[in-house]
Chain A
Amino acid sequence: MLQVKELSKNFGGVQAVKNVTLEVNKGEIVGLIGPNGAGKTTLFNMISLFMPSNSGEISFLDEKIDTSTPETVVGKGLLRTFQTPVGFSKLTLLENLMVVPPNESEGLFSIFYKKKKIIRTEREHYDKVCALLRQFNLYEKRNELAENLSAAELKLLELCRQLMANPKIMLLDEPASGVNPSMLDKMVQHILRLRSEGMTFLVIDHNLGFIYRICDRIYCLANGELIASGTPEEISNNEKVKSVYLGAS
């Protein structure tokens, strides 16, 4: 579904990502681990086209997307979250999600000549948003501003928001960091449920317990290079991975 071939990126003298090749198949949950500064977020930035790569290829659904724009890949169903979610702080939770679907009513003058239609689509989106917020236990807070949420709730909101764009694959950047154990259980349930509904994931996280629990396969990145890949079991017994993690922390 998603193929990354020999992707590289350097910032001035720093080679943040070196010749990384990886693949995610439909319906999989794939983990991406590695110490801080390993280049994980940079890799996400390139895949979601927020950042140009220096060399290499990215294809999604058998199409090369390197030269595409972030909007286009979102339209194709590739969504990503951010390491530090902030949401739209001064928008309510409802608004945070209702702003997502592509909306013809987002014209400067459309409120004057297509009011009926706007109310109809707003209604549809509203129902969808309410259902989603209920699933994630955020419904009671729907009219609160996103800035009033806790860090863990913001992670959930971030996930909800990107879900509104109908992703086929979701790249999650550290969904578990700063989330307490009981919330983490819920996060795991949500991810597994979404996968059972047909979604694919590529997940960055430091919490190896969490990664081992949800992932089918794992890639490990260190200093921009892939040093290992395999099933959770293989990775947990891999000497290189162990040394990187022990060395780093």
Chain B
Amino acid sequence: MEILVFLSGLIALGGIYAMLAVALNVNGGLLGLWDLGVVGYFAVGAYSYTLLTIDAPEGLGLPMIAGVIGSVIITGLLSLFIGYTSLRLQSEYLLITTFAFAEIIRIVAGNEEWLTNGNIGFFGLEKPFQEFIPGANYMLFFTGLVLLSLAIFYFFAQRLADSPMGRYMRAIRENEIVTQSIGKKIFATKLKVFVLSSSMVGLVGCFYVWYMSIIAPNMFTSAITFTVWTALVLGGIGNNRGAVIGAFVLILVQEATRFIPVPAEYSVVLAGLRQFVSGMMLILVLRFLPQGLIAEKFKSVEKLFKFHDNSLILEPKGVGKNAASQGAE
């Protein structure tokens, strides 16, 4: 039983990272934004949820569902502000700005004690449906909840990627100037997608709070951002399946290093080993599978919507006037 609980905990953590990777893929993968602010939106979502749901005087004591919705809205509004001010920047500058923003969030969380209880944070936080499911079984239930939510994320992201919007986002990723030259309003699109992706990350923040049942600023270091990006690159950027698989592989391998039996005095070395293992994996994958474990798939509209060209039989009006004569050569 214990091993089962442990394993399911591992899967839950993997699922949380997988959701983050899917959300980041919308932004970084499909749209090609160099966004290093992941942990920032994650922290904002987690803190908003916590402050909305814990009892007064620290919080507002709202029901969990209100906390979840509220955290998504707050993260969305904040990312609207960040996006509006920084999305006109070129990639490298966007990268620095978003990274700085995430650091600011963590520092604010550590210092504004009246709001966040500083570096101590809050602990013993409630988990959803905890009162109905006793003890050891709860972890299994929670893992199920994470996986269900991951499935919804995945379904949504996949639909988006396959839709005309997904195609348009990939066009922006490939070449902004050309996309502008065909009359598209790029900035508005980037802003919409940025807010969507950040709000998704904010929502995952709630799961993280449930998983940890504590919240403190040191849970939100930039290591999270890099882990999510690593997972995405590992699995295959631009590809939802890759995002999910990359996240699970990375988390499982990282956690597996805990089980290497070493004497206590080497434990610090071992902690370093985790970074080393992730780095090595990334290098090996990029060397031998530059597209990631699963390369971005190119689905033809013909397959997606089961189109087949019947202009051979029925000549379309307009552009196709000379098609038959020209096509013959």
Contacts from A to B (Cβ < 8 Å): 48, 50, 70-71, 74-75, 79-80, 82, 86-92, 94-96, 98-100, 102-103, 105-108, 110-112, 118-119, 122-123, 126-128, 130-132, 134-137, 139, 143, 145, 161-165, 193
Contacts and interface: CB of A to CB of B under 8 A. Distances in A.
Given A122-B164, A137-B327, A98 B301 contact: yes
B177 interface: yes
B323 A103 contact: no
Interface residues of B, number: 44
Given A92-B298, A95-B171, A99-B164, 17 more contacts: A70-B180, A74-B183, A82-B177, A82-B178, A90-B174, A91-B170, A94-B302, A95-B301, A98-B167, A99-B168, A108-B192, A110-B165, A131-B320, A134-B323, A134-B326, A135-B326, A162-B182
Given A127-B311, A130-B311, A161 B327 contact: no
Contacts of A105: 163-165
Contacts of B168: 99, 103, 106
Contact of B193 (A75, A108, A111): A108
A145 B171 CA distance: 12
Interface in B133-177: 159-160, 162-165, 167-168, 170-171, 173-175, 177
Task: Point out which of A88, A126, A131 has the most chain B C-beta atoms below 10 A from its C-beta.
Answer: A131
A35 to B, nearest CB: 25
Q: Which 3 A-B pairs give the minimum distances between C-beta atoms?
A: A131-B320, A74-B183, A111-B163
A131 B310 CA distance: 10
Given A134-B323, A165-B183, A128 B316 contact: yes
A58 B318 CA distance: 31
B325 to A, nearest CB: 9
24 contacts: A71-B184, A82-B181, A87-B175, A88-B178, A90-B173, A91-B170, A95-B167, A98-B167, A99-B179, A105-B163, A106-B164, A110-B165, A111-B162, A122-B301, A123-B305, A123-B307, A127-B309, A127-B311, A127-B316, A128-B320, A131-B319, A134-B326, A135-B323, A161-B182
